[in-house]
Amino acid sequence: MLRYIGKRLLIAIPTLLIVSIFVFMLQKILPGDPALVMAGEERDPQVIAFIRAKYHLNDPLIMQYFYWIGGALRGDLGISLRTNQPVLVLIGQKLPVTIQLAIMSMIFAFAIGIPAGIISAIKKGTIIDYVANIVALSGLSIPNFWLGIMLILLVSVQLGWLPASGFEMFTVDPVRSIQTMIMPAFVLGTGLAAALMRHTRSAMLGVLKSDYVRTARAKGLSENVVILKHAFRNALLPIVTLSALLFGQLLAGAVLTEQIFTIPGFGKLIVDAVFNRDYAVVQGVVLCTAFGFIVMNLIADILYVLLNPRMREGA
Amino acid sequence: MKFKHLLLALATSVALVGPGLAAEFKIGLNEDPDLLDPDQARSFVGRIVFASLCDKLVDITPGLEIIPQLATAWNWSDDGMELTMDLRQGVTFQDGTPFDAAAVVANIDRSQTLPESRRKSELTSVEKIEATGDHQVKFTLKAPDATLLAQLADRAGMMMSPTAFNASGLDFANNPVCSGPFSFGERVQQDRIVLNKYDGYWNADAIHVDKVTFLPIPDTTVRLANLRAGDLDMLERLAATDVKSVKADPNLSEAEAVSLGYQGITVNIANGAGAGSPIGNSKLVRQAFSWALDREAINQVVFDGAFAAGNQPFPPTSPWYTKDLPVPPRDVAKAKALLKEAGYDKVDVELTVANNPVNQQLGQVIQAMANEAGFNVSLKSTEFATLLSAQSAGDYQTDQIGWSGRIDPDGNIYSFVVTGGGLNDNDYSNPEVDKLLNEARTNNDIATRKSLYDQANHILDDELPIIYLYHQTWIWALSKDIKGFVPYPDGMIRLEGVTKG
């Protein structure tokens, strides 16, 4: 198992390299000159020339890439043009915030999506199934930003139950941290819950028709045991794959959700960086996200093996 | 149900903690400021934070008169080549360093020589500065500069502790030390900037707030929701479309001031690939375009009437506004006649706008109005950094862009229309305008300057290298228990005299 994990992580290195080259080139294709943005409204030619020289913006593209990758290999992801802070420091500040948001959203997503999926599969064709489907589809179709603003207006402004902003790090003030994170996590979680519900439902439907479930029932096992122990466990496989993929959707959703709830996480970091052509930050964040993806997929693969004994030999 | 109880308990605990922090003031900003170093800073929003953090040599009144702040008196030599300033005594920086002539010299020197400094162009006229006493400095200029005092009323005049910037260099931005009413507490990027009352402030009696927290909340709806929920005490740049609902809310109040800046359409006359279009080539076509627009209707439709229609680089509220050139009404017949005179029935115009909902709506209103006069306007919307690059490179026909405005009139006009000016992105050139504006920036007599700007405005109104449209209004929304806030046309938030509760 350890060898398998090691091998997978080694394969990640060329993947990250390709991602870094790709992102680097994409950024350079983007119109908009960072020196012009950084020089401020006055656009003093002296300042523009200085910024171009300082950040090697006049050098050939390939050289710029080598400056960057050289630093990255030594653990230096560069300096943010906008704030003068090391990119690593910025990532270190923002990553825990987004991870907290991701975990809390996933909790909402699982808590809503999986039970809803199981119930609608068991009650297929009944009114409960239809209601669950309608709710799930609404979760998918309601835009994050709209739901976010509505929640703020209802929960914070009208009811005054939760603060509308003012995020605090979990390590500093856990209660405040969770308070400020409930609404954004819910908003993100509902979108994911819908997808989870649909997949759980169809996976369950497939499994419930299989022979071993019929056998289990024939053995006289209680319906709860049949569903939770026999059927659901096997239905989990596609759900695990989906969850790893949803992680990406989660990060994309975090960009908008963090803007609305002013959560100082990865999403806000990358949005500001792109608009300011803060290349080093964009590059660092994308690399970090790509790595996160690889790790999530690896975890999914490991979970497969744990869930499905038939796959253990292959590992 | 239990979850609801938990929420209620949490909310109550927050509410109970609330009143203990009565002297804390939370301000919602439209975006996250950039570097908190007056020499390196470039954003408008950063200046709002500086207004609490860093005092300047001079300040302005809401009517744009220059008044003392760290300099108590000043005097121009007869030839306008020397400016002597007496400095306030007994002032200390927030790290205890005394404020004196040597500190001012070190500050101006840093602004002029730091490679990263964005203030160089604002201080180009300064040949040298020297201490002529413990609390007196003398600026010697290369040429007379009527704009210098106004520059010293902004970032170029903000005084930082030399002890701090000598020790921290570029890192000063992460731990700024000035001599303003509040000292730097902490900053979390994109989240908050916290300032604490500086007890050694020379005017500490006027400060009634113990702690200020600036919170960048880019979405205007969310920013307002935060104010309504009590998570903010005030916010800047309320959306024009929200003014009515704030005025109707018994818990909120609203304040506004017409800004110093302008918004307009820059027409590419001779810069790069975008030059050579009919609207760039012919002033008659530009005049026709201008007559086709109903500026007041634009203000009503796009901004709910909260902004000010305009036709000059200075807003109608400015003492520098040329009064015999009022904002023109719409005249479609005249526009059509001018097009005919220029030899056209129909003119194609490409207008680039920034890709946000407000600017796109503005573009569409302009498109519809101009269409009725014979213009076929195609809108091209791009993200702002791209728009800026395209404009600078001349890769545009016309674009909608603005300027945040400066205290001195020179800052709103000179660089944009003088031949070869730093912000003259349409390559407009008229020797007469050059002559008038060069004279205006070196003459310290206000009446003479006014007359020079009037003459220049008449030429610009005829040739229209920039078709001015409107002037933004700074709109603040405040919680009802905030008293004593005075709106300024520079959009800053000055906390002197402001009380809470």
Q: Can you tell me the ipTM of this complex?
A: 0.84
DSSP A124-182: TTSHHHHHHHHHHHHHHHS-HHHHHHHHIIIIIIIS--S-SS----TTT-HHHHHHHHH
Phi, psi of B26, rounded to the nearest 5 degrees:
-115, 125
For the stretch B197-228, what's the b/e string if a residue is b when 16 or more beta carbons lie within 10 angstroms of its beta carbon? Answer: bbeebbeeeebbbeebbbbbbbbbbbbbbbbb
> Is B461's Cβ below 8 Å from some Cβ in A?
no
Rounded CA-CA distance A295/A15 in Å is 12
Rounded CA-CA distance A115/A112 in Å is 6
- Asked if B384 lies within 8 A of A175 by C-beta distance, the reply is no
A window 184-203, beta carbon within 8 A of B: none
Residue type for B187, please?
R
**From residue A86, how far is each of A77, A79, B24, B241 by CA, in Å?**
7, 4, 31, 39
Rounded CA-CA distance B469/B457 in Å is 15
Instruction: For residue B140, give the H/E element and its range.
Output: strand B136-141
Of B120, B173, B229, the CB nearest to A160: B229
Rounded CA-CA distance A23/B461 in Å is 47
CATH of B58-164, one of 3.90.76.10, 3.40.50.720, 3.40.50.1580, 3.40.50.12160: 3.90.76.10
Q: Give chain A positions within 8 Å (CB) of B390.
A: 31
**From residue B366, how far is each of A15, B292, B393, B449, B460 by CA, in Å?**
49, 9, 24, 34, 21
Give, for all 501 residues of chain B, the pLDDT tens digit: 444 554 444 444 444 443 334 489 999 999 899 899 999 998 899 999 999 999 999 999 999 999 999 999 999 999 999 999 999 999 999 999 999 999 999 999 999 999 889 899 899 999 999 999 999 999 999 999 999 999 999 999 999 999 999 999 989 999 999 999 999 999 988 889 999 999 999 999 999 999 999 999 988 989 999 999 999 999 999 999 999 999 999 999 999 999 999 999 999 999 999 999 999 999 999 999 999 999 999 999 999 999 999 999 999 999 999 999 999 999 999 999 999 999 999 999 999 999 888 999 999 999 999 999 999 999 999 988 889 889 999 999 999 999 989 999 999 999 999 999 989 999 999 999 999 999 999 998 999 999 999 999 999 999 999 999 999 999 999 999 999 999 999 999 999 999 998
**From residue A115, how far is each of A20, A118, A194, A212, A243 by CA, in Å?**
40, 5, 11, 22, 15
For A289-305, what is the mean pLDDT? 83
B window 386-445, beta carbon within 8 A of A: 386, 388-390, 392, 403-404, 415, 422-423
Quick: pLDDT tens for A58-107: 888 888 888 888 888 888 888 888 888 899 999 998 989 998 999 999 99
Rounded CA-CA distance B263/B467 in Å is 9
Dihedral, A294, A300, A302, A305 alpha carbons, nearest 10 = -150
**From residue A305, how far is each of A203, A291, A309, B410 by CA, in Å?**
18, 22, 6, 72
Dihedral, A255, A257, A263, A264 alpha carbons, nearest 10 = 0
User: Of A12, A40, A4, whose CA–CA distance to A296 is shortest?
Assistant: A12
Instruction: For residue B469, give the H/E element and its range.
Output: strand B466-471
Rounded CA-CA distance B23/B500 in Å is 7
For a pLDDT cut of 70, what percent of chain A falls above it? 98
DSSP E strand boundaries for B198-303: 211-216, 234-235, 252-258, 262-267
Q: Give chain A positions within 8 Å (CB) of B189.
A: 83, 85, 90, 93-94, 264, 269
- Pair of tokens at residue B330: 């719409």
Residue type for B112, please?
Q
B262-471 is classed CATH 3.10.105.10: yes
Angle at A232 between CA A226 and CA A236, to 5 degrees: 160
Angle at B37 between CA B32 and CA B43, to 5 degrees: 40
Of B116, B226, B392, the CB nearest to A165: B226
Q: Which residue has the higher pLDDT, B361 or A302?
A: B361
Global pTM value = 0.88
> Is A257's Cβ below 8 Å from some Cβ in B?
no
B window 19-38, beta carbon within 8 A of A: 32, 34-35
- Pair of tokens at residue B71: 């300099």
Q: List helix spans (H) across A261-309.
A: 266-275, 279-307
Q: pLDDT at position B20, please?
A: 39
Rounded CA-CA distance B417/B427 in Å is 8
Rounded CA-CA distance B336/A238 in Å is 67
- Pair of tokens at residue B193: 């900037």
Q: Give chain B positions within 8 Å (CB) of A153.
A: 225
Q: pLDDT at position A279, please?
A: 85
Of B190, B215, B389, the CB nearest to A36: B389
- Asked if A166 lies within 8 A of B215 by C-beta distance, the reply is yes
> Is B17's Cβ below 8 Å from some Cβ in A?
no
Rounded CA-CA distance B385/A34 in Å is 8
Rounded CA-CA distance A3/A17 in Å is 22
Q: pLDDT at position B12, please?
A: 45
Please tell me the total number of residues recorded for chain B in this structure: 501
Domain edges within chain B: 2-13+21-34+182-257+474-500, 58-164, 262-471
> Is B354's Cβ below 8 Å from some Cβ in A?
no
Q: Which residue has the higher pLDDT, A22 or B321?
A: B321
Query: Which of A261, A262, A270, A281 best tests the B interface by mutation, with the highest count of B CBs <10 A?
Result: A262
- Asked if A149 lies within 8 A of B120 by C-beta distance, the reply is no
Q: pLDDT at position B5, please?
A: 54
B2-13+21-34+182-257+474-500 is classed CATH 3.40.190.10: yes
Q: Which residue has the higher pLDDT, B102 or A34?
A: B102
Q: pLDDT at position B266, please?
A: 97
Per residue, the 3-state secondary structure of A69-107, as one string, reads: HHHHHCCCCCECCCCCCEHHHHHHHHHHHHHHHHHHHHH
Q: Which residue has the higher pLDDT, B98 or A45?
A: B98
Q: pLDDT at position A313, please?
A: 57
Q: Which residue has the higher pLDDT, A8 or B421?
A: B421
With tokens 């301000």, the residue in question is: B27
> With bands split at pLDDT 50, 70 and 90, how would you rate the model's confidence at A268?
confident
Rounded CA-CA distance A3/A203 in Å is 31
Q: Give chain A positions within 8 Å (CB) of B188.
A: 93, 264
Cross-strand bridge partners of residue B140: B82, B128
The alpha carbon of residue B262 is apart from the nearest alpha carbon of chain A, in Å, by: 13
Q: pLDDT at position B490, please?
A: 94
| Residue of chain A nearest B169, judged by CA positions | A84
Rounded CA-CA distance B49/B52 in Å is 6
Rounded CA-CA distance B219/A263 in Å is 12
| Residue of chain B nearest A91, judged by CA positions | B189
Give the distance from CA B499 to its chain's centroid: 25
Query: Is the predicted pLDDT of residue A252 greater than 80, yes or no?
Result: no
Q: Give chain B positions within 8 Å (CB) of A46.
A: 120-121
> Is B16's Cβ below 8 Å from some Cβ in A?
no
Q: pLDDT at position B17, please?
A: 40
Phi, psi of A132, rounded to the nearest 5 degrees:
-60, -40
Quick: pLDDT tens for A208-234: 888 888 888 888 888 888 888 888 888
The alpha carbon of residue B497 is apart from the nearest alpha carbon of chain A, in Å, by: 26
Q: pLDDT at position B19, please?
A: 38
Q: Which residue has the higher pLDDT, A278 or B474?
A: B474
Q: pLDDT at position A312, please?
A: 63
Q: Give chain A positions within 8 Å (CB) of B34.
A: 82-83
Q: pLDDT at position A289, please?
A: 85
With tokens 């056998």, the residue in question is: A215
Contact criterion met (CB below 8 Å) for B257 and B62: yes
Q: Give chain A positions within 8 Å (CB) of B41.
A: 40
Rounded CA-CA distance A124/A105 in Å is 27
pLDDT, chain A, mean: 85
Query: Is the predicted pLDDT of residue A206 greater than 70, yes or no?
Result: yes
B window 47-86, beta carbon within 8 A of A: none
Q: pLDDT at position A38, please?
A: 82
For A161-190, what is the mean pLDDT? 90
Q: pLDDT at position B14, please?
A: 42
- Asked if B189 lies within 8 A of A276 by C-beta distance, the reply is no
